[in-house]
Amino acid sequence: MIEVCELSKSFGPVRALHQVTFNAEEGQVLGFLGPNGAGKSTTMRIITGFLPGDHGSVRVAGHDVARNSLAVRQLVGYLPEGVPIYPEMRVGEYLKFRARLKGVPRRERRAAVGKALESTDVADVRRRVIGTLSRGYRQRVGLADALLAEPRVLILDEPTIGLDPEQVRQFRQLLREVGRHRTVVLSTHILSEVEVSCSHVVVIHRGRIVARDTAANLRRKYGTVERTTAEVAGPIEEIRQRLERLPQVLTVHAVPLVPGSSPDPSSGNLSHESAAPEAATGPRFGYSRFIVESALGSDLREDVFKTVQQNGWLLRELRRQSVSLEDAFVEIVGGPRG
């Protein structure tokens, strides 16, 4: 439905997009994920025909956006970032105007506006002036506008900003409904958004696509490690070396914890007063945090505990976590170039 092929775009000397390529099929909800300034909005502006790309092509339902922009715009419902809608108009008036612009036939206009108002739950403010609405309402009026002409493609730039949790929940439900027979591209820098709403994810960073897959695959691919966190009191270097020798361990990071500033306040003082293990030789040891990364599927907790026990060190925290999509994202974005 949407085919973006080797799209590049520069603003003067600033390279906003570099050889961006991805597809979205009908029925897909594609999450366009990236930190602020990664090029999400620029890509969306090019797909909707507002800006041209420098190189590469964008096709929506077979129409080239640069050559046949009008045909594309007839298919696309767009919610730009920040929802720039006329503040002086009333909600109902505004939607009527937009329906007229989008070519909704006169007889169906009222019904179309009514339906959009209903589905985005803004019918109660249809007589209010847009400028007096709260951010959440304005966002939903913008969404109602995007849905007006029953577009086959929905492009939503940061659609959940400004919504409260309940509204976000409603938005996701709405997205599930409208997304069934449409192609939806939504941009966000919030990961949980993608995890909940999207079937596919494109991660963009500094104008380049750095990952492109289904949400599940992405987590599998980048979630290659198990992470075991242990807080141990003892000689840091020795503990680190022992932990590194455990089976399946990839890396061990050690972070000394300053006494008294432990993240756990109840044990913070304790570590200061009586953290020194009797068995340890030499000076009294404070607690350190060890982050042990090991192969996917491994569980090091017992091994870590045994190691600590055998050496007579003290252990006060031990937990294992699988890498979430959030970590995958940080990994990708902060990775080699970060």
Partner 1 sequence: MRIWRNIWAIFLRELGAYFLSPIAWVVLFLFLIINGATFYLFARIYAEQPRQITLIVESLFGFSLFWILPLSPLLTMRLVAEEKRVGSLELLMTAPVGEAEVVLGKFLAAQAFYTLVWLSLTPLFVILEVLGDVDWGPIGAVYCGLFALGFLTNALGVLASTVTRNQLVAAVLALSGNLVLFYIPLTQSLLSPDALDAARFVRFLSFTSHFEWDYSKGIVDLRYLALYGSLTAFLLFLSVRVLEARKWR
What does the binding site for partner 1 look like in residue numbers (CB under 8 A)?
45, 48-52, 54, 70, 73-74, 76, 78, 80, 82, 84-89, 93, 97-98, 100-103, 145
Contacts of 60 (CB under 8 A, 6+ apart): 1, 2, 3, 47, 72, 75, 76, 153
Q: What is d(CA 338, CA 334) in angstroms, rounded to the nearest whole number?
A: 4
In whole angstroms, the minimum distance from the beta carbon of 45 to partner 1 comes to 7
For residue 135, give the amino acid letter.
Answer: R
Spatial contact of 183 and 27, defined as CB atoms under 8 Å apart? yes
For partner 1, give the closer residue by CB, 142 or 277: 142
CB of 100 to partner 1, least distance (A): 4
Contact 300, 246 (CB under 8 A): yes
Q: Which residue, 58 or 292, has its beta carbon nearer to partner 1?
A: 58
- DSSP-based three-state secondary structure for 67: coil
* Residue number, 153 or 168, with CB nearest to partner 1: 153
Three-state SS at 34 = coil
CB of 322 to partner 1, least distance (A): 41
Q: Nearer to partner 1 by C-beta: 64 or 213?
A: 64
Residue 93 or 195 with smaller CB distance to partner 1 = 93
Give the DSSP per-residue string, 194-236. Answer: HHHH-SEEEEEETTEEEEEEEHHHHHHHH--EEEEEEEEES-H
